[in-house]
Amino acid sequence: MNYRAAFLALALGTASVQGNSQATSPTSTESTQLKQRLAALQSRMAQVDQQVESLKKRRKGVMVELQGISLQRDRVRAQLDGAKLKQDQAQLEVQEITSKQAKIRSEIDRLRKDLRKQIRLIQAQGELGDLAFLPDASSFESYLAQARHLTWWRLQERKRISQIQRLQGDLAQRENELKTVLARLAAEQQEAAQFQGGLRISEEKLQTFVSALQQDEQAQRQVQAELAEESIQLERMLANLFGKSKTETFEAPVSFSSLRGDLPGPVEGSLAQGFGEHLHPRFHTKTFQSGLLIEAYIGSRVSAVADGKVILAEPYQSYGPIVIVDHGSGWFTLYTHLQGTAVAKGQTLRQGDLVGTVGETLDGPRLGFEIRYQTKPEDPNKWLKKKYR
C-alpha cells in the first residue's frame, strides 16, 4: 500500500478507507473467461499471502501493523471476489443446462408429433394395409411394394420411440446435473455472504486503526521515521540490484534514452502526486517523491512503457508488489503499489506488455511509476508523450 502518499492525508485527518467490495461482474458468458479470471484471482491471493509472509520477517512498527491489517482486508476482499466469480460460473452452468433441457424437450415434442402422425397413418392402413384384400396375382408386385413401405414406416416408428427414450434419459441426467449445480450455487452464495461480513469487519478494523493514527501525533512521527528508513533500504536494494544487472545488460532494439518525450503512459489515470520534494503541512518535514503517483481504477492494466527485461517482481515492504524492468544502458523503470504482478524475474517484455494491475492504497487506487538512470530518479512526466495532470 502507498503509505507515503497516504501519510499526508492521515496527518491532516482526511484519509479515507476505500471499501469497494463488489466483484466485477463478468463481461462475457464464456466459461473459459471465467476460468481465466478465477486463475488470476488465485494468483492475486497467492501474492497477498506472499506479502503476509514477508511482513512477518520485518521489524515491528506502526507501518507493519497497518500493512498487516490492510493485507488481511485485501485477502478477505479477494476471497469475496472469488466467491462471486464462482457464483457467476455456477449461474452460467445453470443457463447452459437449462438451455440443453429446452432443446431436448423441443426435440422430444417434435419426435412425438411425428410419431403420432405415423401411428395415425398406419392405423388408417389397417393391420396389413391393402394386403388384407389381395385381389389377384397381377397386382402382387404393387402389394409387395406397399408391404415394404409399411415395414419401413414401422421401422421409423421404432427408431423414433428409441430416440424419445434416449432423450428422456438425457433429460433426467440434466435434471440431476441442475440439482447439483443449484446446490453448489446456494453454498457459494452462503460463503459469499460470510466473506461479505468478514470484509465489513476488516474494513472497520482498518478504519479504527487509521482514525486512531490520525489522533496520535507520536505514532505519526514514528510512521515518518519508518518511511524514511524504508526509503533508505529501497535505495540500497536498488543499488545492489542495478549493480548485479550490469553483468546481464538487456540489449534493447531501440535505445531507451532516445524515447524521451515519446513514452506511453503505464496506465490510464491522472496525477495524484508529482515528482520531487514535498513539504509536510503539519510537521514541516520534507519528503521526496522519486516518481509519479498515478490515480487509476483498481485493477486497471499496467503496461510496460518500453522493451526490457524483468529483474525484480515481488512484494517489497510498504511498496507492495513491485516490478523493476531493465531497459539497457543503465535505464530502469519501476512499477509499485500493484495489486498483483503478471510477470516473473528474467522475463523479456515488449512495449505495451502487461506488467500487473493497479493496487489499492489508503488514498484509493494508485500506481507508483519511476524512471531511473542507474539509481538516480528522473521525472517520468518529462519522458511521457502524454503527461499526467
The SS3 call for residue 324 is strand
| Mean pLDDT calculated for residue range 321-347 | 94
Looking at the structure, do residues 251 and 160 belong to the same domain, yes or no?
no
pLDDT tens readout for residues 253-282: 889 999 999 999 999 999 999 999 877 655
C-alpha 304/C-alpha 323 separation (Å) is 10
Task: Tell me the HSE value of 194 on the side-chain side, using a 13 A CA sphere.
Answer: 9
Looking at the structure, do residues 129 and 229 belong to the same domain, yes or no?
no
Rg of the chain (C-alpha set): 34
| Other CB atoms within 10 Å distance of the CB of residue 144 | 11
Tell whether the torsion through CA atoms of 257, 263, 267 and 268 is positive or negative.
positive
| Other CB atoms within 10 Å distance of the CB of residue 205 | 15
DSSP state of 302: E
Looking at residue 378, its amino acid is: E
For 293, the domain range is 3-12+25-57+216-382
pLDDT band for position 57 (50/70/90)? confident
- Residue 232 domain-assigned (yes or no): yes
Looking at the structure, do residues 375 and 245 belong to the same domain, yes or no?
yes
**Cα-flanking dihedrals φ and ψ of residue 261, to 5°?**
85, 0
Output the nine-digit C-alpha cell for 172.
Answer: 433426467
Whether residue 329 is predicted with pLDDT greater than 70 in this model: the reply is yes
DSSP state of 342: -
Looking at the structure, do residues 200 and 318 belong to the same domain, yes or no?
no
Domain count along the chain: 2
**Cα-flanking dihedrals φ and ψ of residue 102, to 5°?**
-60, -40
Work out the angle at residue 14's Cα, subtended by the Cα atoms of residues 9 and 19, and round it to the nearest 5 degrees. Answer: 100
Looking at residue 334, its amino acid is: L
- Residue 165 domain-assigned (yes or no): yes
Looking at the structure, do residues 238 and 278 belong to the same domain, yes or no?
yes
Which percentage of the chain shows pLDDT scores above 90? 45
Output the nine-digit C-alpha cell for 160.
Answer: 423414433
| Other CB atoms within 10 Å distance of the CB of residue 19 | 16
Tell whether the torsion through CA atoms of 94, 97, 103 and 108 is positive or negative.
negative
Looking at the structure, do residues 110 and 185 belong to the same domain, yes or no?
yes
Closest CA to 262 of 135, 176, 376, 351: 351
pLDDT tens readout for residues 183-233: 999 999 999 999 999 999 999 999 899 888 888 888 888 888 888 888 889
Inter-CA distances, 168 with 50, 102, 177, 189, 334, Å:
51, 12, 14, 31, 61
Looking at the structure, do residues 195 and 165 belong to the same domain, yes or no?
yes
Closest CA to 71 of 54, 51, 57: 51
